[in-house]
Amino acid sequence: MFVVIVLGSVGLFVIDADSTTPDPAAFDDTVQDGLTFEAELALGDDVELPRMQVFYSQYQYVVGYYGVETFVEAQRQPEHEQRFGYPQTTYVTDYSDTSVELTDEGYPTTEAQPGWTDAEAAWFVVGSDAETPAGETVVPFADQNEATSFANEYGGSVHDWESVLEVEFEHDDATVARDRIDDRQQLADERIETADPLTDRPTSLTVGEDTETVQEALEEAPDNTTIVIPEGTYEETLEIERPVTLAGNGNVTLRGDGNGSVVTVTADRVAIEGVDIDGVGNVTRGGDELPVDIDDEEWDAAFVQNYAGTDAGVAAYTADELLVQDVDIDTPASGIIAYDSTDAVVRNVTVFGPDDPTNGLAGVLAFQSSAVVENSTIHGTPNGVYLYRSPTTVVRSNTLAGNQLGIHLMHTDDTLLADNELRDQHNTGLYIMTGPERNAVVGNSFHDAPVGLNVGGTNTYVADNFVEGAEIGMRIGTTSSIYEGNVIAGNDMGVRVTATLPTNQVTGNDFVGNDEHAIAGTGSLRIWSDGNTGNYWQGGAGVADGNRSDRSYTPTNPIDSQLHVTDGTPTLVRAPALKALAGLEGSVPGMRTGSIVDQAPACEPTNPERLEGTEWDAHAWPCYETTRTTND
């Protein structure tokens, strides 16, 4: 019989194997799906979103879904039943006798706390005005008459359970992040195209000829003109309050006095190019010292003050279409901050952080600001590029080295992180946290960090990345995400799975030269194959059956996990006992906990072009290889 356990700080409700019809669980004790952390924090106290909880036959925890539609779409996914088993007991929110109404956003509010009712006996209003932060939602009732009354007031039609299971719902999944990659690249190009004319504005003033100081020029220059700064060092702190371009001509340094940001921007369409910046302060300003108002009632108000108020080389506040390019910044705090500044562009920028990368904050911080950060180099900051509530940002073709975290996302959806090189981070190359949605991580290379990628969120797309030299190459904390085309090579541990829900699609990846290829924490069977498509596992070679092996591979199995570091592997993998054990891995519930199974492992690397020229290429033995030495 299972018992209640605690995972991290969350008490998960564990199914009693001897129970036939369990009582509803406390929703906070379920493994939840369907709502981002930020969306949950932003809901009012009186909002009661529709929820569902499911007790599965082969999954030891109760799964809590925000929205019946979330469950309906989830149970249609390939291998869902193989991973979870079948639903034994299902409960849904019961809005009967709660005086349910909808807010202007469509969120349900109630006067009384909703209870739970059996989903199979409930009635459901589909297609009404009711919504969750994720979109349309189904509203359940135990009483058919109340369901009809709700539909009469808010639209929609009343369904029973069987007909709800047949409804098609609009649902964004990880394929959306994949399909939007070209659109995100084009969006970045459009932002740059919009910013480029800022560098062609006519010259109105030259510092030293028309004014004595840069600040005087900023105060006198007409809008939409360029101020030229001749070669030299200018010991000033600047405030830019109108749309102008500040352009260095030669070796130009703007030097602050070590107290505050060197350049503060509070106007739209400002450009800063061709200068070096140093003399940045190292103080975090309170809200009353910032040139913007911060709503103290917002759930993240303290966070905003602490992070958006840090000193920086360039600090922009509500400054849309900012352009910073060909700028070098030496800072003990932050390099560039864009706060509430839509469509910022940072190009060809170099930021040097403090000697100790645990000091300061970020090389580039986009805070509630969509942006493009490209072709830039950031050294020695706590966060190389830090995105906070900055959806649709594109970070591409940058070099990040020696930071604590290379790229760091919080509460940020729909970004593209592409073709960046991240080396020698002190903690993690890429850290996506706080449960965001639809981010794409594509074509990056990660080298020599304790953790290469620590990926969280939902519907994330992680593809074509190269990860080597890490203690943990990739930590997977996502749900309903796609991992494909990645090469995980030469790490102490290739992949560590921390997500409890086994809903990720992991195929077409190559695991080579890792001490351990993959391990998984608590949870049910993770199936890392789709039909005839699996992953390549060095050492998992069997007899070739087309382009796949004739036996499954389980990196979490004590025997399979050692095949790539054991002599005699070609003979061992043909042993009848080992083949029988491989078959059991995918069928016996007792062997599922903490397991990963690839039912169609590839015979050769699926991404040979990424391995070619690396030291790991020689380790990628195909199925038909029969001789080798352990340390080749």
What is the per-residue pLDDT across 237-288, written as a single tens digit (0 to 9) for each?
999 999 999 999 999 999 999 999 999 999 999 999 999 999 999 987 765 6
Distance of CA 431 to the CA centre of its chain: 7
The CA angle 4-93-108, to the nearest 5 degrees, is 125
The reported pLDDT for the residue numbered 585 is 46
Concatenating the DSSP letter of every residue in 34-53 gives: S--HHHHHHS-TTB---EEE
Average pLDDT, rounded, for the chain: 88
Mean pLDDT score, 329-337: 96
Structure tokens at 197: 């004319």
- Give the separation between CA 39 and CA 437, rounded to whole angstroms: 11
304 to 298, 365, 607: CA distances (angstroms): 9, 12, 42
CA 494 – CA 97 distance, rounded (Å): 52
Residue 479 has which token pair? 């749900």
Q: How far apart are CA 576 and CA 99, in angstroms?
A: 64
Q: Tell me: pLDDT of 19 over 80.
A: no
- Which is more confident, 550 or 98? 98
**% residues pLDDT > 70 (the chain):** 89
For 605, the token pair is 């690397």
pLDDT at res. 59: 87
SS3 of residue 62 by DSSP:
coil
* pLDDT tens per residue, range 497-527: 999 888 999 999 999 999 999 999 877 789 9
H or E element: which one contains 576? helix 576-585
Q: What residues are paired with 207 via a beta bridge?
A: 211
Closest CA to 240 of 265, 207, 203: 265
Closest CA to 142 of 85, 98, 203: 98
pLDDT score of 626 more than 60: no
Can you tell me whether residue 611 is helix, strand or coil?
helix
- Of the two residues 208 and 301, the one the predictor is more confident about is 208
Specify the pLDDT at position 628: 39
| Banded pLDDT at 631 (limits 50, 70, 90) | very low
Q: Is 407 helix (H, G, I), strand (E, B) or coil?
A: strand
Sequence-distant (6+) residues with CB within 8 A of 509 are: 483, 484, 485, 486, 487, 488, 535, 536, 606, 607
Convert the pLDDT of each residue in 41-57 to its tens digit.
778 778 999 999 999 98
H or E, element range at 469 = none
Confidence of residue 290 (pLDDT cuts 50, 70, 90): confident
* Residue pair 367/304 in contact by the 8 Å Cβ criterion: yes
How many other C-beta atoms are found inside a 10 Å radius of the C-beta of residue 532?
12
> How many separate helices (H) and strands (E) can be counted in the chain?
12, 52
* Token digits of residue 231: 């070669």
599 CB-contact burial (10 Å; exposed 0-12 / middle 13-18 / buried 19+): buried
At residue 303, the pLDDT reads: 77
Q: What is the pLDDT of residues 406-418, one digit of tens each?
A: 999 999 999 999 9
Q: What percent of the chain has pLDDT over 90?
A: 69
Lowest mean pLDDT among 73-77, 88-92, 327-331, 606-610: 73-77
pLDDT at 630 over 50: no
Give the whole-angstrom CA distance, residue 243 versus residue 300: 30
pLDDT bucket at 77, cuts 50 / 70 / 90 = confident
